[in-house]
Chain A
Amino acid sequence: MVPLSYYLVLSGILFACGVAGFLIKRNIITVFMSIELMLNGVNLSFVAFAARWQQLSGQVFVFFVMVVAAAEAAVGLAIIIAVFRTRETLNIDQVNLLKL
């Protein structure tokens, strides 16, 4: 049986990759994908704990996160398309109308 810590370390690596991508990448779609990566990193730790403690609530949470992520993806992609139509760019540094 694979020890719990392996799952948690992998989960941490996935989350750290997501954070790094979010911070470094400039393309909005890549940033968006980095968010999904972070969510999935968290999901992995949820299911690992659920398996370890034989509790269903962790798995329920994972489904919940997946549903929200799907909805978010739908809305997020729509926004990205709208942004591209008006700004004709996907570079996040150029989408800075809110900046002072």
Chain B
Amino acid sequence: MTPDLHLWLIPLLPLAGAAINGLLGKRFSRHVVASVALIFCGAAFAMALWIAAKFSSLTLPHVESMTAWLRSGTFIIDYSFALDQLSLVMLLIVTGVGFLIHIYSVGYMWEEGGYYRFFSYLNLFMFFMLTLVLASNYLLMFVGWEGVGLASYLLIGFFFLRDSAAAAGKKAFIVNRIGDFGFLIALFLIIKHFGSLDFQTVFAAVQPYAPETTGIGFLTAIALLLMLGACGKSAQIPLYVWLPDAMEGPTPVSALIHAATMVTAGVYMVARSHIIFERAPSALMVVAIIGTLTAFFAATIGIAQTDIKKVLAYSTVSQLGYMFMACGVAAFSAGIFHLMTHAFFKGLLFLAAGSVIHAVGGEQDMQKMGGLRKHIPVTFWTMTIATIAIAGIPPFAGFFSKDEILWRAYQTSWIYWLVGVFTAFLTSFYMFRLLFMTFFGEYRGAAGSEHGHEEHAGHGTHLGRDATHTDSRAGAPAPQKHGHGHGGIHESPWIMLGPLVVLALLSIVGGWVGIHNRFANFLSPVFVANAKAAVTFEGAAATPGGEAGLETKLMVISVAAALLGFLLAYFLYNRRPELPARIAASLHGLYSTVAHKYWIDELYAWLFVKPLIAVSGIVFWRGIDQGVIDATLNGSAGGARDLSDEVRHMQSGNLRSYAGWIAIGAAAVIAYMVWVGLRAQ
């Protein structure tokens, strides 16, 4: 008998916080709003820790059914939560990193209007994300899945008075719908074939199937459709376009939702469904190819971006590509491992970038930064740690997870590995480029430390006073206009730096859990035990002695690639900062193509958006809506009116005409009866 863990409390605590702040927060002071948000989020984290402490005494998977939800004949879905190694890892990441980012937001958003609204949304996001992670069936997972999409939409469009923010929110939501469509169809297929959506039931039913090596069966179809869903949520080709635009949201949102947690939901879902994927080799190959391509493609875009958050956004897309590459070569634990380390260092990178933006008064263009390391040392050092971690240089976290992925990719095909290593080089290059452009050299912002002071200072004080009424700063000119206009370049307060330091520590030590495959072994009950019947790529983890030398060699190559990226960035952006502009000029066409993100947005607009608007306008609006639906209604109304207009003349008010009608009627009846009588004879 396993103890009752009250798993339902974990998602519900942030929901309570969201409800309190959302419904009553308008009247609270900022201190109260922040305390409510932190207490409920922190309580969820504390519960997660408590569960982690008791974890070894549980029989897994630990399922707790709260109440019946949908019951229709034999199709039963309960409102139930499940806990196993995989969801424990996700639980700790979501609550832990989420809590740190909540703390950071208290400082970062202090000057903004709509403070209570922000924290209400943030807690709401935590609720849905925890539902997603803890759900014990696909449908409840889908509820969380849609819910995080909603929270993401609300938070991207947080500064909703800015058109670009509102548009970015919509874009994220609509692009995600395409993925959700695939997810839904996959769920329908699962119901059709297995009659259930419960993870354990479905996976037990999938177990006996042999891998669909020849031809494409329904398992491949399900896997591909699930992958489409994951592509939408986790910003993979071809649905990645929403994530860079999502940077319109406040920076803590980018860190929490668009780097650390929500965008990894797709990876989690694929890993959770690994039993299905393992039986669909062609689907797995698609996953691997999409992941590899995305990793490479996004990294190349990242090297030409000048907006500090855009660089990080493409970096996120690229790193998610790594995770899918791992899933695609059936190295699910490696993918989850990278998910975890990525949550640490990418969350840190975004928070540090937020601290930089905060320091320079809302500027996001790296071309107007530089030389900041003397002014904001704590941010500089934490960001350096995160950069080293993401570049994959030992002994920082990113090295262990990325190397694990590359090694497993090599075992499947050297092509994945080669692209992966080249992407690692690009990653290292653009991240150090960001670091050098931001923190080294001379400050390139306007008028030294007086940068934009006049324009922002008034703004800040103004907002500080009546921010309770103003939800967003309407129509101010700069992009991401923060009210942080006070003083020159300045270090952020400790409530923001604290989370940075904690995450920096995690970015250093977070990878060490992967030494000697400890992380993989921890997750192996989820990934291996169920999969014994299938072709277990996982089994290859037990490396034969001969391959150990090869693994070391590959490791050296990938570290060398990372160092090469560092050196190139050092040379181009620190020693010879005038060179990049000249190189860009000499490669004009190629450079502008990359800088414009390969014109993918324009291509999509031309290929999908414009035709869709045209078809909607001509066929659906003018054709069907106006031509058929409106025409039917208006036509029948007009017909009734015309008919009545004719018929009303019968009712003339003239007594004798009435009598005439009666007489005619009577005559008609008599004639009829006579006729009937004659015929009967």
Chain A: CB-nearest residue to B652 = A99
B663 / chain A contacts, CB cutoff of 8 Å: 19, 23
- Is the beta-carbon distance between B651 and A100 smaller than 8 angstroms? yes
**In the complex, what's the smallest C-beta–C-beta distance from B658 to chain A, in angstroms?**
10
- Is the beta-carbon distance between A100 and B656 smaller than 8 angstroms? no
Give the distance in Å from the alpha carbon of A98 to the alpha carbon of B656 in the complex.
13
A93 interfacial by beta-carbon distance below 8 Å: yes
Contact with B along A8-25 (1 / 0, CB 8 A): 000000000001001100
A92 / chain B contacts, CB cutoff of 8 Å: 655-656
A19 / chain B contacts, CB cutoff of 8 Å: 659, 663
Chain A: CB-nearest residue to B649 = A100
B546 interfacial by beta-carbon distance below 8 Å: no
Give the distance in Å from the alpha carbon of A4 to the alpha carbon of B653 in the complex.
40
- Is the beta-carbon distance between B656 and A96 smaller than 8 angstroms? no
- Is the beta-carbon distance between B659 and A23 smaller than 8 angstroms? yes
Chain B: CB-nearest residue to A35 = B659
A23 / chain B contacts, CB cutoff of 8 Å: 656, 659-660, 663
Contact with B along A57-100 (1 / 0, CB 8 A): 00000000000000000000000000000000000110111111
- Is the beta-carbon distance between B660 and A96 smaller than 8 angstroms? no
Chain A: CB-nearest residue to B660 = A23
Using a CB-CB cutoff of 8 Å, which residues 632-676 of chain B contact chain A? 648, 651-656, 659-660, 663
- Is the beta-carbon distance between B653 and A98 smaller than 8 angstroms? yes
Q: Name the one of B648, B655, B659, B660 contacting A100, with C-beta atoms under 8 angstroms.
A: B648
Give the distance in Å from the alpha carbon of A96 to the alpha carbon of B654 in the complex.
7
Give the distance in Å from the alpha carbon of A31 to the alpha carbon of B653 in the complex.
16
Give the distance in Å from the alpha carbon of A97 to the alpha carbon of B653 in the complex.
8
- Is the beta-carbon distance between A100 and B654 smaller than 8 angstroms? no
Number of A-B contacts (CB under 8 A): 24
**In the complex, what's the smallest C-beta–C-beta distance from A91 to chain B, in angstroms?**
11
Q: Name the one of B654, B656, B660 contacting A99, with C-beta atoms under 8 angstroms.
A: B654
**In the complex, what's the smallest C-beta–C-beta distance from A80 to chain B, in angstroms?**
13
Using a CB-CB cutoff of 8 Å, which residues 96-155 of chain B contact chain A? none
Using a CB-CB cutoff of 8 Å, which residues 19-64 of chain A contact chain B? 19, 22-23, 31
Chain B: CB-nearest residue to A96 = B653
**In the complex, what's the smallest C-beta–C-beta distance from A67 to chain B, in angstroms?**
24
A95 / chain B contacts, CB cutoff of 8 Å: 655
- Is the beta-carbon distance between A93 and B652 smaller than 8 angstroms? no
Interface size class of A (residues with CB under 8 A): 10 to 19
Chain B: CB-nearest residue to A22 = B659
Give the distance in Å from the alpha carbon of A99 to the alpha carbon of B653 in the complex.
4
Chain A: CB-nearest residue to B657 = A23
Give the distance in Å from the alpha carbon of A93 to the alpha carbon of B653 in the complex.
10
Give the distance in Å from the alpha carbon of A93 to the alpha carbon of B659 in the complex.
13
Give the distance in Å from the alpha carbon of A98 to the alpha carbon of B653 in the complex.
5
Chain A: CB-nearest residue to B651 = A100
Chain B: CB-nearest residue to A93 = B654
Give the distance in Å from the alpha carbon of A19 to the alpha carbon of B660 in the complex.
9
B653 / chain A contacts, CB cutoff of 8 Å: 96-100
**In the complex, what's the smallest C-beta–C-beta distance from B678 to chain A, in angstroms?**
17
A96 / chain B contacts, CB cutoff of 8 Å: 653-654
B656 / chain A contacts, CB cutoff of 8 Å: 22-23, 92
B648 / chain A contacts, CB cutoff of 8 Å: 100
B654 / chain A contacts, CB cutoff of 8 Å: 93, 96, 99
Give the distance in Å from the alpha carbon of A11 to the alpha carbon of B663 in the complex.
16
Give the distance in Å from the alpha carbon of A98 to the alpha carbon of B652 in the complex.
8
Chain B: CB-nearest residue to A97 = B653
**In the complex, what's the smallest C-beta–C-beta distance from A51 to chain B, in angstroms?**
23
Chain B: CB-nearest residue to A34 = B659
**In the complex, what's the smallest C-beta–C-beta distance from B200 to chain A, in angstroms?**
77
Give the distance in Å from the alpha carbon of A84 to the alpha carbon of B399 in the complex.
112
Using a CB-CB cutoff of 8 Å, which residues 582-641 of chain B contact chain A? none
Give the distance in Å from the alpha carbon of A96 to the alpha carbon of B651 in the complex.
12
Give the distance in Å from the alpha carbon of A23 to the alpha carbon of B653 in the complex.
14
A93 / chain B contacts, CB cutoff of 8 Å: 654
Chain B: CB-nearest residue to A25 = B656
Give the distance in Å from the alpha carbon of A83 to the alpha carbon of B250 in the complex.
85
**In the complex, what's the smallest C-beta–C-beta distance from B574 to chain A, in angstroms?**
95
**In the complex, what's the smallest C-beta–C-beta distance from A26 to chain B, in angstroms?**
8
B652 / chain A contacts, CB cutoff of 8 Å: 99-100
Chain A: CB-nearest residue to B666 = A19
Chain B: CB-nearest residue to A20 = B663
**In the complex, what's the smallest C-beta–C-beta distance from B310 to chain A, in angstroms?**
74
Can you list 5 pairs linking A and B with CB atoms under 8 Å apart? A19-B659, A23-B663, A95-B655, A96-B653, A98-B653
List chain B positions with a Cβ less than 8 A from chain A. 648, 651-656, 659-660, 663
List chain A positions with a Cβ less than 8 A from chain B. 19, 22-23, 31, 92-93, 95-100
**Contacts A23-B659, A96-B653, A100-B648 known; 14 new A-B pairs at CB < 8 A:** A19-B659, A22-B656, A22-B659, A31-B655, A93-B654, A95-B655, A97-B653, A98-B653, A99-B652, A99-B653, A99-B654, A100-B651, A100-B652, A100-B653
